[in-house]
Chains A and B, each alone.
Chain A
Amino acid sequence: MKSLLKIEWIKVSRNRIFWVMLAIYIVALIMAFLGLQAMLESTNKSIEESGLASVPLLPTNIYLFPHIWHNITFVARFFKIFLAVVMIILVTNEYSYNTLRQNLMTGLSRLDLIKLKVLDVIILSAVSTLVIVIFGLFTGVYYSSDYTFWDMLRKLNYVAAYFLMITGFLSFAMMLAFLVKKPAFTIMILLVYSYIIELIPAFKYSDTFGEYLPLRSMNLLIEAPNTPIFELLNISSASSSIPFSHIVATVVYSIIFWSISYLVIKNRDL
């Protein structure tokens, strides 16, 4: 395992495109966190100026412990597609350089080839989670005034759920990339599947299996925080807990995606 990590590190550490893409993702994420605060404040300002007393003011205390963890992981949920693009590039690179073949020839097993990419999935998920933890700690400490140590940690389960969600989603992207081979085509399929194809049955059959479709299931790990802003935006699925069934579903799906990737590589001429 240590040498697999080293191999992946040699590859990734000198891959400039990877670092640029990762940096864009992280900057976009942080800007979205900060922008949200500004957006809420400016909306409140116009509500106040309009003088309509019946419209509730939006909460601007989104960075307070312990709710900050739920708030920022929910926002970050919408940015995971960018990280998936990074993941897709890491897999399709191996096809375009023909290095799956080279590494197999050199002595890796087909299972090793999959393990390397699962390592990427886990490391990218960890990086994304770490960004959130660091941002959450700094802004939480900056904005919160009256909190206990327990408040800081109380909703960290959302961070754990976030890690799981990203792992599941990146595993899905990895499997697509192994199947499709071509980066642009894979990204296209991922976009169409996640924003169109899966959404239709997910909502149509939301009472039965709809909520357990792969991507829907992952997304439901972190539903909208139960705050007035989402009520106003008519998001009804707000919650304040992480459904256990979706934890199980995400883990199972991830394992299925890894297995399918392995079966693809196991039976394919490289």
Chain B
Amino acid sequence: MEDYILEVENLSKHYGKLKAVDNLSFKLERGEVYGILGPNGSGKTTTLAMLIDVVKKSSGSFSWLGNSAGDNTRKRIGSMLEKPNFYDYLSAVDNLKIVAEIRGVDYSEIDDVLEQVGLLERKKSRFKTYSLGMKQRLAIGAAILGKPEVLILDEPTNGLDPEGIAEVRNLIKKLAADNKTIILASHLLDEVQKVCTKMLVLKKGVKIFQGSVNGLEKDKMIIEIMADDMELLKNVLSQSVDFNNFKQVNQIIQIEVNSNINKTALSTYLFENKVMVSHLAVKQESLEENIFELLKETK
């Protein structure tokens, strides 16, 4: 039996006529780093906000670790949503003391967390004196205080400089290696690709893709090929097992193949069948293009 941390069923949020999230279902396994990808306004934050009961769901259901989103369940989920929300006249330490108090965590863990997010030196400074990046890191700190089993990170690298982005991504990877379950929402594909193992693509509140990040990336690979004798080429290709999925675009044959097939195999095959190839190029469709495709398709 699979060990699901989160099961979401037909979750919806409607604001009047606007469907911010529409009939969303997915399951989350323990230890997975799950990316929720989508353009701005696609319902990522609303979805996460519903999952921690900050925003009331319109319909549907979900359960964490087999329970509903009770208050004690929330204490086991570290989350940050959108912009960091803290008392701006309090220092980082005092803000985290409030978090520690709520979670029932010892104050001694605060310094560790501040160290991890790189704020230890500024721990006594008031929140309002922080730069956006520092505020963002404090929000991550608040989320990981008390070592929750599940982390919900909404655009965690928003507003960070390149160095900060790298640090946060490394931190996420480190947490993932610790067997934490992480849900990461982002509009940056690159981020999801670098950090996540599985992902869900949202568009206008509707799920348009779900699966492993690798799967989407590797499933599609296109080889472009031209030969002196195009008819022979087509003939030979249509007899093959691996390469019979081709189409002609102008003077070029495009073959869609699984990425585990390497192009040497193809050229060897063609050579054996006496096809003189004049052009052969692998056009690896990037994840970006795939997502772009997906977003276009559902228009």
Contact = CB atoms under 8 A, between A and B. Distances in A.
Chains A and B bind each other: yes
Interface of A: 3, 6-7, 10-11, 14-16, 93, 97-99, 101-109, 112, 267-270
Interface stretch (B27-35, B90-98, B198-206, B245-253): B90-98
Contact of A101 (B54, B72, B98, B101): B54
B90 A101 contact: no
B282 interface: no
Interface of B: 49, 52-56, 71-72, 74-75, 79-81, 83, 85-90, 94, 97-99, 101-104, 142
Contacts of B74: 104-107
Contact of A107 (B49, B81, B90, B102): B102
A270 B85 CA distance: 12
Contacts of B142: 102, 106
Contacts, number: 74
A269 B54 contact: yes
A106 B99 contact: yes
Given A97-B87, A104-B53, A108-B71, 10 more contacts: A7-B101, A98-B83, A101-B54, A102-B86, A104-B52, A104-B54, A105-B54, A105-B74, A107-B71, A107-B102
Contact of B85 (A14, A98, A107, A267): A98
B103 A107 contact: yes
Given A3-B102, A3-B104, A11-B98, A105 B90 contact: no
Given A105-B79, A108-B71, A269-B49, A11 B54 contact: no
A269 B15 CA distance: 11
Nearest to B99: A106
B98 A270 contact: no
Contact of B89 (A15, A102, A108): A15
Contacts of A103: 98, 102
B101 A3 contact: yes
20 contacts: A3-B101, A6-B101, A10-B94, A11-B90, A15-B87, A97-B88, A99-B85, A99-B86, A101-B85, A103-B98, A104-B54, A105-B74, A107-B71, A107-B75, A107-B102, A109-B71, A112-B71, A267-B56, A269-B55, A269-B56
B104 to A, nearest CB: 7
B295 to A, nearest CB: 27
Contacts of A15: 87, 89
A11 B52 CA distance: 24
Contacts of B88: 97
